[in-house]
Structure 1
């Protein structure tokens, strides 16, 4: 079916893995965003997760809109980035992805299929809702930064956001113009 990350990248089974592969499809596509908390993250390659679709659910106070998740659906695909994460960032990444559960998935990359950790929102029955313009911008710019397929980027750009105007609780340079204080 697929090879483990160790075998697919030319390592021997006797080596101790000092890192894990993480497949990011949401805000962690953007280098500035993932390194905001996960300083040791190293971009490895782009990848495609087959038989899943990108969905937005669960209102986030931090982002003022819904968050990205992946949902199983035959014939669909989600593009993203594969990051090499030092093992010492495992708990920190879990904490950042609170409300999500770990999922090990086979990701198709230029190097072959790599078994990656990703995260799926834990309430699989949550109603879909739109993301904030801020969150959508981070995802789209991350996709552009890593040169995901142009048709996929167009699909991301076409996602309807919730129109939120104001500040979100994420301090990265990309959001400076959108993070404006609104008058009460």
Structure 2
């Protein structure tokens, strides 16, 4: 199954911690969507990524396409709070490049992939991501060499420090442990 990751799961170490057998196919973009941080986090109530269709077909959200074995899909569903604030959709994504930076010409007509989006009852416009969450997203974007303009766009989103110092430290240790 093809999975389009546009948030923290772009970061390979994070995804492989959840689904070790996932294979990166390359980066892609979805057209006519916009990225927001208005998805209320299941565990911490902070702003998490969400993509929303918009009328402007020139809006693009970049991400990473992974191949995931259906037998391990439940692990990702659980981590992404499927049914607890998030829902699954299938959308058409346009591959931009493979992991070795060659164009994916065999997919010139796009690829259908599943991803997770916020359920409408879980969208709160005043949310802001915690700095550790945003850092994980930026780590994935940089790791996969998303376009520099898009990385700059991600860097411009507001962020806040996690008021729960223990959780922030736990997330920092977690991030360090999956990188090593």
Asked whether the two chains share a fold, i.e. TM above 0.5, the reply is yes
Instruction: Show structure 1 runs of 5+ residues with no match.
Output: 1-19, 177-184
CA-CA distance at 1:39 after TM superposition: 1.1
**Corresponding residue of 1:47:** 28
CA RMSD between the two structures: 2.1
Out of 110, 116, 120, the residue aligned to residue 117 of structure 2 is 120
Q: CA deviation at 1:24?
A: 0.2
Alpha-carbon contact 1:59-1:66 (below 8 Å) kept: yes
The yes-or-no answer on 1:28 pairing with 2:9 is: yes
Tell me the distance in 1 between the aligned counterparts of 2:149 and 2:15: 24
- Counterparts of 1:146 and 1:126, CA distance in 2: 28
The structure-2 alpha-carbon separation of the partners of 1:62 and 1:36, relative to structure 1 and needing over 3 Å to count, comes to farther
| TM-score for both structures, normalised by structure 2 | 0.79
* Structure 1 residue ranges (4+ consecutive) displaced by more than 6 angstroms after TM superposition: none
**How far apart, in 1, do the equivalents of 2:69 and 2:143 lie?**
22
How far residue 40 of structure 1 moved from its aligned partner, in angstroms, is 1.2
Which residue does the alignment assign to 1:172?
175
TM-score (norm 1): 0.78
Which protein has the bigger strand share? 1
Aligned residue pairs, count: 157
8 Å CA contact 1:63–1:135 kept in 2: the answer is no
Match for 1:100 among 79, 86, 99? 86
Query: CA offsets, 1:50-89, max 9 Å, x none?
Result: 0000011244264562110101112311000000101111
Is the CA contact (8 Å cut-off) linking 2:14 and 2:178 kept in structure 1?
no
Bigger radius of gyration, 1 or 2?
Answer: 1
Q: Which structure shows the higher helix fraction?
A: 2
Unaligned runs of 5+ in 2: 96-103
Distance of 2:177 and 2:145 partners within structure 1: 17
